[in-house]
Structure 1
Amino acid sequence: MSKAAYTPLEVYKILPQSNCGKCRLPSCLAFAAAIVAGSKQLQECPDLDPTTAAGFSARYRQPGLKEENQAEFLDRLQAKMALVDLAAVAPLIGATVKGESIVINSLGKDFVLDRRGRMTSECHIIPWVLAPLLSCITHQSHAEISGSWISFREIPGGIEWQGLFSSRCEEPLRRLADANPELLTDLIGLFMGKSIAWYEADIALILHPLPKVPLLICYQGPEGDLHSKLTILFDASCSTNLHIKSIYTLCSGLVQMFAKISEHHR
């Protein structure tokens, strides 16, 4: 008989539930979600009894990384483009219509998408931005920016993706900010960002990777024995405007782009 895929709650039940932080995640529940997402392994918990871990693994199979289905996800989004009423959708997502194409601004740059979901731009084409742009255009609902900020795990479906988001978005960006103190400030000028005051943050900036999907990056540098901390927050309306998979793709793509920019700071 084949093994069943497990859920974050099933993993959490066998963990010590001490929230010790030895796995470099904030809680045992976050660690459980990371295991299900594929970014962590059971044996990475130093306090978990090996016999318990082995018995659990024998009963369940680990799901593959959700990113493996990205190509199929993109194909579905491109197929939906032919059905979209561009004139009706454009004002709802902060875009404009040009002939049979729709123009959306991302981080200060215009991207043009045609009826077949093909993307062009006057600037260098950024591959990872295509899926979030298509997802925004074809999403079944749209909302105005609320002005309220929430964490990734508070987004519907976010807990399931939290492990990947922590390990491939927030943590890499924190390390980049540690190594390049001026990087986050430079992003404000490079991508038409806005600096704001935020509680317990040395630097807080708002970026608009999509017109109606802003994100807030909050960074607090290391001090004494305290490690640095970086959190990415989202407008509470984000799940109304974008699929959770595309929210993750958008952030992971941004971090990869920021990493390339940081190379010029060295």
Structure 2
Amino acid sequence: MDLRERWNDPDEDLKAALEGMQAKIHTSIPVRVVKDSDGHTVGLQPLIKFVQRMPDGSQKLMDYPVISDAPVQFSGGGGVTMTHPIKEGDEGMAIISSRSIDTWHQQGGMQPQIDARMHDLSDAVYLPGIRSTPRKIKDVSTSAIETRSDDGKHKISMDAKTGATTISIDEGKHTFGIDPKAGISMDTAMKLAVNAKSGMDFKGAAHFADKLTSSKSIGAPSLQGVVGGFTGAALAVALMIGAMALTGAQSPQEGIQTARYALAAWVGHAYP
């Protein structure tokens, strides 16, 4: 029994009645995920206890029941959505609809309200990402937008001012960066494999700080392409004439082919 019921005070009676009604109005409440989600709905345990008045007038703290099949909110629109796993133990906030969402959730579009309930926990929507202090994310960047693992070992970071973007994996052991001034960079502690089934095209000068190897012989489709410019053309003619003289080739075509073989052999010997 509420102690205020022991005396006749209209104002206290009205206040007690209003507080009783207000206690049944749910707007939002912090929650914990009770089971891994399929990405569409999730089960939630409210993390704030409520006070239950017992028949003898005493009060007891009680757990709210588990909220079943609450729709999950992901950032999305315009045909794109950013999704992420929803795992058991994740915290977040449940937003409580002022009206029943059952028919809308099942059928979509504009739907009639099938019952008269209002601000009921069964009409909750889950917003992930809101955290209590013990679960706060450490080392949050104050200058960049980041998509990251909670422990910070893996992250995609874009500077809000310059647009410089970095992908960092395994605490920086593998990085890929795009900088408006410095250009594109890649650094890895392991092997880099590229499989381009339709081939690769390079435009511009290329520099290799270490040796260049190939699982097949290195050939040149044209001597001018390997050496470049006037020097390449002169070397091509010299090799063609020399090859014709040494091998007794009867035509320039035979000399060109022989020169190609000779150049490929020299490249393979110089850059094993």
Which TM-score applies when normalising by structure 2?
Answer: 0.16
Which TM-score applies when normalising by structure 1?
Answer: 0.16
Structure in which a larger fraction of residues adopt strand: 2
Report which of the two structures shows the higher radius of gyration computed on alpha carbons.
2
